[in-house]
Amino acid sequence: GAVVSQHPSWVICKSGTSVKIECRSLDFQATTMFWYRQFPKQSLMLMATSNEGSKATYEQGVEKDKFLINHASLTLSTLTVTSAHPEDSSFYICSAQQGGSTNEKLFFGSGTQLSVL
Amino acid sequence: LAKTTQPISMDSYEGQEVNITCSHNNIATNDYITWYQQFPSQGPRFIIQGYKTKVTNEVASLFIPADRKSSTLSLPRVSLSDTAVYYCLVGDRDRDDKIIFGKGTRLHILP
């Protein structure tokens, strides 16, 4: 099956620093990638949808200047948490979809646990 | 908002068959039903997808009645390692082209 690689798996940073998370589709081209965040024992919350070569579409309440998303190629999307604060600590997950069909299944990265001190 | 409703949690014992039902009253004609499994601190993974009647793979079966307003994920002879959260998704995008997860069902397998 298709593989989505997400790095790093975990990161600890100081408040005020920026953190970049990478999401790569290893054996397929992902026309669309999604970024989620998840708090303990809660469901995945969609943050943004990104299509290769265009600006990401952010969900209501998600600050686009704080969570920078770049989908520069069909195999790579990055999420940068800028000027991270403790409240940004969360589990971040990316997913990729190969085609444009509404019923294409999703392939997920393994997630990144971000802890901001 | 998610278009699905599932039980929040379920408990079962090793070796039992577990059935998790998902309601999706507003399913559209072209929507498929997809189930994902998520272990703690991991991303979800695809389990099974179906459109109607029954689908079976090496992991699970998916039963979909004729009206398609619900579906049941069936896990045969569960083990402790099946303890996870199971999400039911209908279609993959709502009309705003977003993929929204519902609350999922937290399945706890007991020895």
Cβ distance B43 to A104 less than 8 Å, yes or no, reads no
A27 Cβ under 8 Å from any chain B Cβ:
no
In contact, B3 and B22? CB cutoff 8 Å? no
pLDDT of residue A66: 96
- Name chain A contacts of B99, Cβ cutoff 8 Å: 34, 46, 49, 95, 106
DSSP string, A98-117: SSS-TTPPPEE---EEEEE-
Q: How confident is the model over B28-50, as a mean pLDDT?
A: 92
Q: What is the pLDDT of residues A25-44, one digit of tens each?
A: 998 888 889 999 999 999 99
Q: Output the pLDDT for position A105.
A: 82
Task: Tell me what pLDDT residue A2 has.
Answer: 81
Instruction: Identify the pLDDT of residue B101.
Output: 85
Span A1-12, mean pLDDT?
A: 92
**Does A112 score more than 50 pLDDT?**
yes
pLDDT beyond 60 at B78 = yes
A94 chain-B contacts, CB cut-off 8 A: 43
- Distance (Å, whole) CA B78 – CA B108: 10
Residue B1 — very low, low, confident or very high, per pLDDT cuts 50/70/90? Answer: very low
Contact yes or no for B98 and A43 at CB 8 A: no
DSSP B80: G
- Contact between A103 and B32 using a beta-carbon 8 Å cutoff: yes
B101–A95 CB contact, under 8 Å: no
Q: Provide the shortest C-alpha distance from residue A49 to chain B (in Å).
A: 7
Tell me the chain A residues in contact with residue B87 when contact means C-beta distances shorter than 8 Å: 43
Q: Can you give the pLDDT at residue B50?
A: 94
Average per-residue pLDDT for chain B: 90
Higher model confidence: residue A81 or residue A97?
A81
Q: Search chain A and give the residue with CA nearest B102.
A: A43
Sign of CA dihedral B100, A21, A39, B59: positive
Mean per-residue pLDDT for A45-52?
Answer: 90
